[in-house]
Structure 1
């Protein structure tokens, strides 16, 4: 694995490396072994961010066909690929140049909408370029030694990749048979939000490429399950778990010219959207209970309950306090406030609908206040 540096934040979490960086390391190691037939235990590569890092090899074996491997270390970042062995099998090829393929445990693209063509291995453009550049350094040595242009095939494999992919949304994105080889920098920051945000954008891009004009942004698995029941005419590709990244989803929908977006949330996330917080993970952005209390007063909720709402500490408590009251106008008001903020966020570029659901998935309120739209 790479020699990891300690991060400088307060919690002193370890950084790690992407699957793309690991693939570039094993590609160079396998190519070097194939060319030189020498044995070594470490390999240095230049990452896409132009840092140099040395990886310790977990294996390096073979002669005419070489197998190299490194253990993926994501540092202290929770990652389903952490601990997997990223491998490369290098072999000579009659056609000149470097030929990169995907082997066992690397997904195959089966749907349009990605940067990769259907049928290609899911090795994204930046790591693919990095793999090529690192292997090219060894390939050029081979050409110089042999005084002729010869080819090398590099087969990237991830034993256990198909099982690890079950923890991702790859299957929904049409990435079948394993994990994707990813990474635009080569390094992983602990608890980085960038990967999740990127998956939201990618999901919308794929939905659009496959004909969707209506996507549903949900805040988690429970809200998604409820949304699928409320909007059964939509396909699975249209439902996107945006989590705390509703804002990312809205921007992506605008960018890819999606016509209609439905936001589905339970009271906790909805309460943040009411305040215009489209990125609900942001530190310090707690629910504004004073605002919720103010809106309750405007919707004629009893004064004593309004005061309790203003002093509440959870969205669930707010919902429980109004449950047995004539609170439909209040719940609709919450949706309307969130709806207006979402429209402002996208400069009215999208047809947006906001749905508030209960913890059992039932619909509590909506904005616009009308029956669910059934047109796709």
Structure 2
């Protein structure tokens, strides 16, 4: 940590309990499929029906990281080669997901221009605030699901010579969205179509916490003294790029359970922790929250505004960050103002201070913040880290 930086604020340390729906269960957890994967499957089934005139009963789509998954098509109708519709039901596995059982519905029609147009229908939210990685006014269908839909449709329609409009809708999606933070974030009218890997892994359960603790213990059993904690697949890939000399066993997808991982690392005699994350998780950790499940913690705009001021931001920027819609929005404001490195380094230093305090000084801590693609390290407690993550293309 840079000795010239301000000392980390002594925020209270908290590790909230799990939600009631995420208590210990005796069996192994079953993974599920994201709304993005199910939407891509529905879109492919509907497109195949439109092209062939044949009702589709099953469909197979590819996942972003490779591999194929097959779905039953719950309902499929086609109207004389003009329009077709297909429904795939989401199975979230054992994750306590409010969209489990949702009917992801794709309606496809020909259009005069070549290529694909993707939009949201009933039950899919509309973006009304910045900071979500999508233009204001656009349907809340995230970039990876859009790519999956495009790729899946292109397997049955030549989009270089024909044009297709795909509308994703979710009956009862608006009701489902009331049990999410969508409205607070500015996504109005329904759920978001999400997913970066296509797979729902039950990060939010006590069984996942146990698997995190086990992964830390396995690394220690192989005489490793450093554990690298990443919040998910993209950040883990970034972490591997930042620390390519470390063996794979050192890298742990920690999900929401940073506190549990740190506690186990101390118990098994590790000496160093590296945390790699994006702005949202880092902001929660900087506020002293060591179990970051979305129902148990919120991003603090005041903390981000204070960091903005400490990084040299003017009054207008501090005020803008204080009312930022998300940590991502604050990240974007810092980047626009040319303060991303300075503010990000301060945020990473705050997090490192929290990690050291939580372990009562028994672990040394380094922290890196990556961008929202997971491809670049934009801030860190050590300047030598800053640059492209070498594991990414």
Q: TM-score range by the shorter chain?
A: 0.5 to 0.7
State whether residues 299 and 326 of structure 2, in contact with CA within 8 Å, keep that contact through their aligned partners in structure 1. no
Q: Which residue is equivalent to 1:177? A: 189
Tell me the C-alpha RMSD between the 2 structures: 4.5
Deviation per residue, 1:338-368 (Å, 9 max, x gap) = xx9899996399xxxxxxxxxxxxxxxxxxx
Q: Which residue is equivalent to 2:41? A: 25
Inter-partner Cα distance in structure 1 for 2:35 and 2:171: 13
State whether residues 78 and 191 of structure 1, in contact with CA within 8 Å, keep that contact through their aligned partners in structure 2. no
Q: CA deviation at 1:225?
A: 11
TM-score, reference length from structure 2? 0.51
Unaligned runs of 5+ in 2: 1-25, 205-230, 234-254, 257-276, 306-318, 328-338, 370-379, 384-393
Inter-partner Cα distance in structure 2 for 1:343 and 1:44: 40
- Which of 88, 101, 120 lines up with 2:138 in the alignment? 120
Q: Which residue is equivalent to 2:150? A: 132
Deviation per residue, 1:195-215 (Å, 9 max, x gap) = 976xx946589x9xxxxxxx9
Distance change (3 Å), C-alpha of 1:90 and 1:83? same
Residue 381 (structure 2) pairs with residue 347 (structure 1):
yes
TM-score, reference length from structure 1? 0.54
Inter-partner Cα distance in structure 2 for 1:344 and 1:26: 38
1:93-112 mapped onto 2 (5 Å cutoff): 93-112=111-130
Q: CA deviation at 1:176?
A: 1.9
Q: CA deviation at 1:127?
A: 1.4
- Which of 63, 88, 91 lines up with 1:73 in the alignment? 91
Distance change (3 Å), C-alpha of 1:98 and 1:238? closer
Q: CA deviation at 1:91?
A: 1.0
State whether residues 116 and 163 of structure 2, in contact with CA within 8 Å, keep that contact through their aligned partners in structure 1. yes
1:197-346 mapped onto 2 (5 Å cutoff): 201=278, 217=287, 219=289, 237=324, 257=343, 273=354, 275-277=356-358
Deviation per residue, 1:177-207 (Å, 9 max, x gap) = 222211111112223664976xx946589x9
Q: Which residue is equivalent to 2:71? A: 55
Q: Which residue is equivalent to 1:360? A: none
- What is the SS of the residue equivalent to 2:54? coil
State whether residues 185 and 325 of structure 2, in contact with CA within 8 Å, keep that contact through their aligned partners in structure 1. no
Inter-partner Cα distance in structure 1 for 2:33 and 2:117: 24
Structure with more contact order per residue of length (Cα contacts < 8 Å, sep ≥ 6): 2
- Which of 188, 195, 199 lines up with 1:187 in the alignment? 199
Distance change (3 Å), C-alpha of 1:43 and 1:90? same
- What is the SS of the residue equivalent to 1:276? helix
State whether residues 100 and 153 of structure 1, in contact with CA within 8 Å, keep that contact through their aligned partners in structure 2. yes
Inter-partner Cα distance in structure 1 for 2:142 and 2:342: 20
Inter-partner Cα distance in structure 2 for 1:156 and 1:177: 13
- Which of 152, 177, 192 lines up with 1:165 in the alignment? 177
Distance change (3 Å), C-alpha of 1:13 and 1:96? same
Unaligned runs of 5+ in 1: 1-9, 144-148, 208-214, 241-252, 265-271, 278-286, 292-339, 350-376
